Structure 1
Amino acid sequence: MKKFYRRLSDAMLSLLERAKMTEYTFILIIAIIIGLLAGFSAIGIRWLIKTITAISFGSGSNLLDVLSATPWYLLIIIPALGGLIVGPIIYYLAPEAKGHGVPEVMQAILLKGGIIRPRVALIKSIASAITIGTGGSVGREGPIIQIGSSIGSTIGQFFKAPSRRLKTLVGCGAAAGIAAAFNAPIAGALFAVEIILMDFAIVQFSPIVISSVMATVVSHTFEGDFAAFIVPHYHYASPYEIGFYFLLGAVCGLFSYLFIKLLYFSENFFDNKLKLPEQIKPALGGIIIGIIALQFPHVMGVGYDTINLALHGNLIWYLAIGLLFAKIVATSVTLGSGGSGGIFAPSLFMGAMIGVFFGEMVHGYFPEITAEPGAYALVAMGGLVAGTTRAPITAIIIVFELTNDYKIILPLMITCIISMILSTKLSRESIYTLKLVMRNIGIKEGREINIMESILIKDVYNKPDPKSVIFIEDKFGTIVNKLIHNRGREFPVVDANGVLQGIISVDMIKDFLFEKDSLSSVLIAADIMNRKFEYVTPEDNCSAAIDRMRKYDHESIPVIENADSMKLAGIVSLKDIQDAYNLEIEKREITSSLSSSIMMNEKEQRVHFLEGYEIMEITAPESFYDKSIRELNVRAEYGVDILSIKKSNGDNERVIPFPSPDYVIRKEDRLVVAGEIKNINLLSNI
């Protein structure tokens, strides 16, 4: 199957090359395809949720009426059954489908170059539809975002897009998901660049906008120009009302912080404190949701019916307060226990409840200068989204696109910005980034940390040299000789079976050197080694190795096969890690730039990096065949350097970075060379 997939991909790329299409045109066409597929996926998941809801509770135009007529015991049993189905599906088929999805997309962008497994789209669709359809207190926007991102990644991988472009295509899918969910194309595009890509680079923006618009077109065509909510006309009562929106922003910021903290408290409790099989934890969450729904059935599902009641002023303030806290708990339990769904709709729900309560209070005391509670509910929806996601621009545009009323912009901006500022003061991370930080994934530190985390120890460590390994019975004289004749400051100490017992550093033996002659046959390694030490395994990453070296101010750290055997596998030094990091940076930059050129019809791929200089991929000249690089003396004869060689072997291609002078060039080789443009042109025309 993989071979068929690869051949189909190659055939499509060949067809596109023959069409002599530029890379920019190609990306735009792919963006259109992603938008169309994401739009249809959004329609599909909405239909699936509606179908499962009808099977679970019965059909009806208003879910609240249906839930009110449902027997109390079914309100508990149905969410529990939904959890029993969802738990094994996620656990065995796609763990990435657990939770609200957006952090998983961000993780794929940061650590995997935008690679998302194709199966995630299908599993996320099924798991989220079952969770929401059986009463889970989550939204459908998060799943649609993750599904769209998975579609974008899959299409990008199919066309062998480089990492830089693949991330953009993932953003296209995310934008299309939000656009299709709310019929808000501008908000979809801004969500992708503000949250998913965290980059407003104009180069990336065009395809994202196109995907967003195409997904909206699909929604309009097949479901009509529907609105996610039935929004009343916004009423701005007086200029004095602005002061109340500052206060509303502060309230939204406080509840944003409360939601973030309670959600991750719930996740930590279910993941680390509750000793139950992972597969059945969602069922327990379903039972808790059912118990809450006995008093507040409004919390089940996406909650759009209740939001509409709030927007039209049909909720009493004390019910709104009860629903606010019930929704925070219900959503936290649904996601914490392992259910699948988004936090966007719950944030809008909570904002609407805050707005109703706040609006009732200020309108009750100041009726002449304040609007109806529904206006505050609408603005507070944006405030909660801004506070939880830390994406105020997206929040402002979503609410604006729902109303198409410019009068709401000023109150909305004030509320969203104040909410975000206060929430940020209380909690540094957003509801999305906190999950990544808890997984030790750096976000604000830049790409260096994430690249370190992507390089595994097994790719950089050196196997033990018998001459540098100290055995536990070695005498002091032997130890000194080994330290003198080998580089490094730290040396592992092992027993006769190769099991790591301790560490000896150069600094540790300094005090004994003055008595070397008298101690050389008396003192052994076991007497002076440090039994407190850190180690890594081949599956650890370089970031973890550096953190452990810093603990003891070491320049190297032993590598063991596994924690059970403690058998020494090798040693890795800071220099090894630094060299690997530099090579990875160079490889990513060169590969990304070259791949962007290679994707389309250019027969010769060029990357300019200095005035008059470039990197270029060329076919090996016939006169180079069966000769070594040393024999050809390429640098002296042609004034260029060979950076890497691509060897083709049927369906496989292998890259040899910085080949040795003894490498013999073959007929099928392609050379990546760097130098002055005129010299490269001469070489390519031989």
Structure 2
Amino acid sequence: MDAKLKYKTFILLLGQWLILGSIIGIVVGSATAFLLNTNDFLGEVREDSGWLILLLPLGGIGLGYIYMNFGKQRINNTLHDAAELNNLVIDGVHGKKRVLRRMGPIVYLGTFITVLFGGSTGREGAAIQMGGSVAETVNTFFKFNELNRRIIIKSGIGAGFGSAFGAPITGAIFGMEMANSGKIKLDALVPCLVASFVGHYMTTAAWGVEHEEFIIQTVPELSVITIATVVLLSVIFSLLSITYCKLRHGIQNVTEKIFNKNHMKRAFTGGIIIVVLTLMVGSQDYNGRGLDMLEQSFQEDVPTFAFLAKLLFTAVTLGTGFVGGEAIPLFFMGATLGNTLHMFFDLPLSFLAAIGMIAAFCGGANTPIAAFLLAMELFNGEGVEYFFIVCLVSYIFSGHNGLWPSQKIYKPKSTLYNITNGETIENAQKTKNI
């Protein structure tokens, strides 16, 4: 191939990714704006009508019915189940399964049901699955080969995450980092970057969505003692991530076994448990997304064991079949634990909340680069040295656990682990290699 032909091919390929990334960004950004605005509205309705929590078990029946009757499709003798949530999107990136085009609308409806009736959940899961759904629609329309299909799905993931949090740089990297722990394939960089930025600006500029702001009031000066303290705290936050992931997947495995994967029975039971827990706590602070207490944790003291309450509420909610996202609950757990640790460590309150928020997310998602960039975008670049340490330590000490069992382990985090390169977290856990 001569130089002129190579140049022409490069320009055509670049133009293709720019156009497709823009299309995905426009659609996913608009859909995410709808998700955020609707969730805000439904959250306010629930807060104004506390009795709605009593309807959560019935909402679980409806949600389970939707997934059991409309969320499954058999393609080439392989079952593709929308109830696998982000795991199905990751399998789509790996070429094992196909993301269902109906998956986005289904998870949106399921998230609305969960939020309205008081399940403890977030939003990025729905945005990511909608992104994958839109990407699969693009793949089907243009009939791409397998390599390009995977790139397009990564772009959908990036657009969903970036527009959900107002963090377009993070979204671009997250789209490439989510499917493989410890590896980023840069072949999807251009479409991921375009889709994430276009999605972000569609959400904010075109639809006027305003994202939450988290402000670090004071960043401590660098010192050996402070760095050592941050390392210790990062280990603690990584243990929080492990605890959540173990409990959430443990509940899912047990309820699927007991109810033979009947999502209606699982969600109904989970709804009853959440109602009981809410009545026991005497507050709905841990239902829904919990954004008010999350923001409060940066400014003043919150209940000492708020992080444990949120961990339990979210693990039960998502472990029994309700849907949504897990990033905001992890933000909540990490930030409120950081707030509690302010009693024991002589560091600024907002700083502790911030590093807890990022460390908990990093440990659960196994995306250290995206987590670091998220800290830079959310906190305007403050505390860059500390957040680099936080993400590195949390990523390593969380081991091969995570939010998504389908996530592949590119290489073991340590030689202590007897893990084959490319093995999934699920398989590694089954063989007790972690």
User: What is the rounded CA distance, in whole Å, between the counterparts of 2:194 and 2:66 in structure 1?
Assistant: 34
User: What is the rounded CA distance, in whole Å, between the counterparts of 1:281 and 1:270 in structure 2?
Assistant: 6
Query: Residue 414 of structure 1 aligns with which residue?
Result: 389
- 1:270-322 Cα shifts (integer Å, max 9, x gaps): 1003468432321221121122223142211111111100011242xxx23x2
The answer as to whether partners of 1:233 and 1:403 remain within 8 angstroms in 2 is: no
TM-score by length of 1: 0.54
* 1:311 matches 2:310: no
Query: Residue 374 of structure 1 aligns with which residue?
Result: 350
Query: Residue 459 of structure 1 aligns with which residue?
Result: none
* 1:222 matches 2:199: no
* 1:22 matches 2:5: no
Q: Percent identity?
A: 25
User: What is the rounded CA distance, in whole Å, between the counterparts of 2:61 and 2:155 in structure 1?
Assistant: 33
Match of 1:361 among 344, 365, 373: 344
List aligned pairs for 1:429-468, cutoff 5 A: 429-433=401-405, 445-446=421-422
Query: Residue 31 of structure 1 aligns with which residue?
Result: 21
The answer as to whether partners of 1:172 and 1:208 remain within 8 angstroms in 2 is: yes
User: What is the rounded CA distance, in whole Å, between the counterparts of 1:436 and 1:340 in structure 2?
Assistant: 22
The answer as to whether partners of 2:53 and 2:118 remain within 8 angstroms in 1 is: no
User: What is the rounded CA distance, in whole Å, between the counterparts of 1:297 and 1:187 in structure 2?
Assistant: 31
Match of 2:309 among 326, 333, 338: 326
Match of 1:270 among 233, 248, 255: 255
* 1:85 matches 2:72: no
| Change in CA separation of 1:203 and 1:421 when aligned onto 2, cut-off 3 Å | closer
Residue identity opposite 2:33 in structure 1 = I
User: What is the rounded CA distance, in whole Å, between the counterparts of 1:258 and 1:112 in structure 2?
Assistant: 29
Query: Residue 342 of structure 1 aligns with which residue?
Result: 325
Query: Residue 138 of structure 2 aligns with which residue?
Result: 155
List aligned pairs for 1:223-242, cutoff 5 A: 223-224=207-208, 226-237=210-221, 239=223, 240-242=225-227
Query: Residue 288 of structure 2 aligns with which residue?
Result: 301
Residue identity opposite 2:298 in structure 1 = L
The answer as to whether partners of 2:364 and 2:401 remain within 8 angstroms in 1 is: no
- 1:23-76 Cα shifts (integer Å, max 9, x gaps): 331222011000110100101112332343345x2xxxxx5xx47xx3xxx264
The answer as to whether partners of 2:238 and 2:359 remain within 8 angstroms in 1 is: yes
- 1:203-255 Cα shifts (integer Å, max 9, x gaps): 32011100000011112213447333342434224523222101111101111
| Higher relative contact order (Cα pairs below 8 Å, separated by 6+ residues) | 2
SS at match of 2:285: helix
List aligned pairs for 1:564-643, cutoff 5 A: none
| Change in CA separation of 1:253 and 1:220 when aligned onto 2, cut-off 3 Å | same
CA RMSD of aligned residues (A): 2.4
Which of the two has higher C-alpha Rg?
1
The answer as to whether partners of 2:306 and 2:336 remain within 8 angstroms in 1 is: yes
User: What is the rounded CA distance, in whole Å, between the counterparts of 1:225 and 1:341 in structure 2?
Assistant: 19
Residue identity opposite 1:417 in structure 2 = L
Query: Residue 416 of structure 2 aligns with which residue?
Result: none
Q: What is the deviation of 1:358?
A: 1.4
The answer as to whether partners of 1:384 and 1:416 remain within 8 angstroms in 2 is: no
Greater share of residues in strand: 1
Greater share of residues in helix: 2
Query: Residue 100 of structure 2 aligns with which residue?
Result: 117
| Change in CA separation of 1:168 and 1:284 when aligned onto 2, cut-off 3 Å | same
Alignment length (residue pairs): 393
List aligned pairs for 1:114-193, cutoff 5 A: 115-193=98-176
* 1:44 matches 2:34: yes
- 1:569-617 Cα shifts (integer Å, max 9, x gaps): xxxxxxxxxxxxxxxxxxxxxxxxxxxxxxxxxxxxxxxxxxxxxxxxx
The answer as to whether partners of 2:33 and 2:209 remain within 8 angstroms in 1 is: no
User: What is the rounded CA distance, in whole Å, between the counterparts of 2:21 and 2:311 in structure 1?
Assistant: 36
The answer as to whether partners of 1:103 and 1:436 remain within 8 angstroms in 2 is: no
SS at match of 1:410: helix
SS at match of 1:360: coil
* 1:383 matches 2:383: no
| Change in CA separation of 1:166 and 1:197 when aligned onto 2, cut-off 3 Å | farther
User: What is the rounded CA distance, in whole Å, between the counterparts of 2:91 and 2:373 in structure 1?
Assistant: 25
SS at match of 2:344: helix
- 1:456-497 Cα shifts (integer Å, max 9, x gaps): xxxxxxxxxxxxxxxxxxxxxxxxxxxxxxxxxxxxxxxxxx
The answer as to whether partners of 2:242 and 2:401 remain within 8 angstroms in 1 is: no
- 1:406-455 Cα shifts (integer Å, max 9, x gaps): 3x11111222222221111xxx2322136889xxxxx96449x9xxxxxx
Query: Which ranges in structure 2 are unaligned for 5 or more consecutive residues?
Result: 1-10, 73-80, 410-418, 425-434
TM-score by length of 2: 0.84
User: What is the rounded CA distance, in whole Å, between the counterparts of 2:278 and 2:226 in structure 1?
Assistant: 36
The answer as to whether partners of 2:91 and 2:406 remain within 8 angstroms in 1 is: no
Match of 1:260 among 234, 245, 259: 245
| Change in CA separation of 1:290 and 1:182 when aligned onto 2, cut-off 3 Å | same
Q: What is the deviation of 1:162?
A: 0.9
